[in-house]
Amino acid sequence: MDFKTAEAKINDLRNLLNQYGYEYYVLDQPSVPDAEYDRLIRELIELEEQFPELQSSDSPTQRVGAAVLEMFEKVEHRTPMLSLGNAFNDQDLRDFDRRIRQVVGDDFSYVAELKIDGLAVSLKYENGAFIQGATRGDGTIGEDITSNLRTINSIPLRLKENVTLEVRGEAYMPKRSFEALNKGREERGEELFANPRNAAAGSLRQLDPKIAASRKLDVFLYGIGDIGTTGIRSHSEGLDYLDKIGLKTNKERKKCANIDEVIEYINGWVEERPNLAYDIDGIVVKVDSYEQQEQLGTTAKSPRWAIAFKFPAEEVVTKLLNIELSVGRTGVVTPTAILEPVRVAGTTVQRASLHNEDLIREKDIKIGDKVVVKKAGDIIPEVVNVLAEQRTGDETEFLMPTHCPECSSELVRLEGEVALRCINPKCPAQIREGLIHFVSRNAMNIDGLGEKVISQLFAEKLIEDVADIYKLTREQLLALERMGEKSVTNLLEAIEASKGNSLERLLFGLGIRLVGSKAAKTLAQEFSSMDRLAEVSKEELTAINEIGDKMADSIVTFFEQEEVKELLNELKEAGLNMEYLGAKPVSAEESDSFFAGKTIVLTGKLEVLTRNEAKEKIEALGGNISGSVSKKTDLLIAGEDAGSKLSKAQELGIETWNEERLLEELNK
């Protein structure tokens, strides 16, 4: 066969196989037997091997073929993947409806969709070809899992139209795949996955795509990241468009004229939920019109135009076998119920938080009781109540201890608190939990120093406080179990890199009582250095809007301790940065910047700055960043592929800049 004939044959086979795959995996309406599909795939593989120059990444033969990865690269989402607010009953939904009406009036409709219980993903297509897939991550930064997503047959490697767009959806494991996976793991003596959601997430985070391929995952796409110039005006139109170009959406959606129709739709699925071939954990309700979505805008965490109705928690009965105690980073002693294992909302539950002694007394919980257990929000197990009528007389009352279960120091109950607390600063449990907090993502963010490694280092007495982390040697780490040359090198590099963090990360990592990450940044911005902060008075602290009396007392007390002074000196000697490295914000009154007091919207892809960098620079000059365009917007900064926000700004006559103009102003 000559080259031209082979090229034509290969293109015909790819088109035919893509169509058959779409019918099988997306429409669930196969038009040919599996044997015929397999025969055509073999023929295509042979031709591509014979003419390697005709191989293509979007060929049906390239589902699995990537090399094993060493790690996942980070991916920044151009449009943040926000989480949704929750509704738990009809009143929550009606309150949501009332808030919508207050902004957009009565002329609008909803789209109600099944909330798939899986892993949120983003897929990017360029000129119709699938080029990248990523996890949601923290909503702004996700992980590149392209190789694993390519193994999902319902994700087309080439669309029916040569469009460039980003779509969002949920990758999930069908119940049938989950049962087959766990059956195989059981036969091999491996630990079983708790539920399909965990199994899907674990599969997509495998570094070997062949493992992901073997798990038989699926996907439903539920939205477009940026509608761009498609002309689509509503969410329902967007879903129809995804269907048209060959992407798989969930057909159980319904357009609803009002909140009563939404509630009727939800009630129907409360009953039908068990009959689905996949798990759902609720219903997502969205305002249909994109224009009205823009009008409603978003909060920092979630859109105001959408809400997730969570199904009523499944309740089961089991026996409370014991109550164990744990000591947290701040010394709070928390009781935990140890339960006879029981299945709740898809997972086996053996532990449930009891929060504090007052709750145990209020619910009259005794060891040996039959108790009703549910998962709050389908996630956190909790004891709902006791079945006192089933008591046999063998139950025993639980008494909270007077001394710490870890260090035997006397426990205290601080004024105004319900929790018992160990106030011994040398308590091993507090030290261990404090170390785990110090290295966490929002604190010093040291990759490779997770909870297990910290516990191992602490048990081996290699670290006793956070300063010891910076004294660890290669020899010490190599002597630990499951620590090889590469992981040790990566860990030591991550520890070294953390020394350059800005002051607010170190402040948060030190675990000052009542000081969260936001307060830590405020303190760092206000006082600039650790030395200055260590000397401030309560009056200076409470002069800051965000700092109240209790937090101020906690900060002053923290820096007065001799142990803290010694620790900070050790950290300085280890080379840790003690200065605030970010731009110090100024008020609109103080700033003579163009941005001072103005409301600014960022949209599209910036080339020189990331969106977060641009946001920080503008806010540091007294500007306010908004997520949506309205009549109150003073300026829109548009990068590449700016979509509906740019169109709306132009309609409203709002001043618009490109990135070059932004950089010019920032450089002034």
- Catalytic residue numbers read 115
Element spanning 337, H or E:
strand 333-344
Long-range contacts of 504-507 (CB under 8 A, 24+ apart): 504/580, 504/582, 505/442, 505/443, 505/444, 505/445, 506/443, 506/444, 506/530, 506/571, 506/576, 506/577, 506/578, 507/533
The DSSP bridge partners found for residue 497 are none
The b/e string for 401-421 (b: 16+ C-beta within 10 A; e otherwise) is eeebebbeeebeeeeeeebbb
* Spatial separation of the C-alpha atoms in residues 503 and 187, rounded to whole Å: 52
**Residue in 158, 166, 171, 167 with CA at minimum distance from that of residue 130:** 158
DSSP output for 622-648: T-EEESS--TT--EEEE-BT--HHHHH
The b/e string for 270-306 (b: 16+ C-beta within 10 A; e otherwise) is eeeeeeeebbbbbbbbbbbbbebbbbbebeeebbbbb
Paired tokens of 190: 């491996």
Alpha helices (H) in 117-174, listed in sequence order: 146-149
Q: Hey, how many other C-beta atoms are within 10 angstroms of the C-beta on 641? A: 16
Q: Sort 604 into a burial class: Cβ within 10 Å, 0-12 / 13-18 / 19+.
A: buried
Look up residue 24 and give its DSSP letter. Answer: I
* Spatial separation of the C-alpha atoms in residues 233 and 648, rounded to whole Å: 12
Q: What is the dihedral sign for C-alpha 285, 77, 196, 275?
A: positive
The DSSP bridge partners found for residue 351 are 338
* Spatial separation of the C-alpha atoms in residues 125 and 146, rounded to whole Å: 11
Q: Sort 423 into a burial class: Cβ within 10 Å, 0-12 / 13-18 / 19+.
A: middle
**Residue in 539, 543, 536, 545 with CA at minimum distance from that of residue 512:** 536
The DSSP bridge partners found for residue 638 are 603
HSE, side-chain direction, 13 A CA sphere, residue 552: 14
* Spatial separation of the C-alpha atoms in residues 518 and 474, rounded to whole Å: 35
Pairing of strands 280-287, 110-116: antiparallel
Asked if residue 444 lies in contact with residue 508, where contact means CB atoms within 8 angstroms, the answer is: no
Paired tokens of 630: 């309205």
